[in-house]
Amino acid sequence: MGDLPVLTGLGAPTSYASAVPALDTRTPPDAAVHEREIRPLRRLRWWQTLPIALLGTLGSLMFAFPLAFGSAGARATMIGMLGLLFTAASFGWGAMAARHAGYKWPGLPRRGSGQRAGWKAIAVYTLIALAACALAVWRVAYLR
């Protein structure tokens, strides 16, 4: 294929190849500046997840021990409910930290995308949370 004519500002046709600047093929100097993302990657680091995991573990153990060893009485019920509270708090804390880092729940849009969440996904997550809470409260109430 030949060079296609290009009209310049003066009206004189020139070839397309002469209108495109040549690429610079020189090697960069030793002290070249490399482009890099200025903002850090949005991900959770170990020091952010460690307190969440520790609180969740502590809450799970506090919830499980009175149930596992068949303890009865007001003290066992209180420890079980406090463990349930710690577990729920760590779950919420972890969900908010993940959302802040840019992660998302399946079926829900990313933060700041401007899209609305689907009602089916919200309904499923709500039913799962309500079922888990109902079973946990029923089990702790069973200790009495």
Spatial distance between the Cα atoms of 51 and 109, rounded to a whole number of angstroms: 27
pLDDT exceeds cutoff 80 at 57:
yes
Q: Which secondary-structure segment (H or E) carries 13?
A: strand 13-15
Highest mean pLDDT among 62-66, 126-130, 135-139 belongs to: 126-130
Sign of CA dihedral 44, 47, 53, 55: negative
pLDDT class for 123, splitting at 50, 70, 90? very high
The radius of gyration of the chain from alpha carbons, rounded to an integer in Å, stands at 30
pLDDT exceeds cutoff 80 at 55:
yes
pLDDT of 80-90, one tens digit each? 888 888 888 89
pLDDT at position 106 is 83
pLDDT class for 62, splitting at 50, 70, 90? confident
Spatial distance between the Cα atoms of 52 and 42, rounded to a whole number of angstroms: 18
Q: What percent of the chain has pLDDT over 90?
A: 5
pLDDT exceeds cutoff 80 at 24:
no
Could you tell me the CA-to-CA distances from 104 to 26, 69, 111, 119 in Å, in that order?
Answer: 45, 38, 8, 16
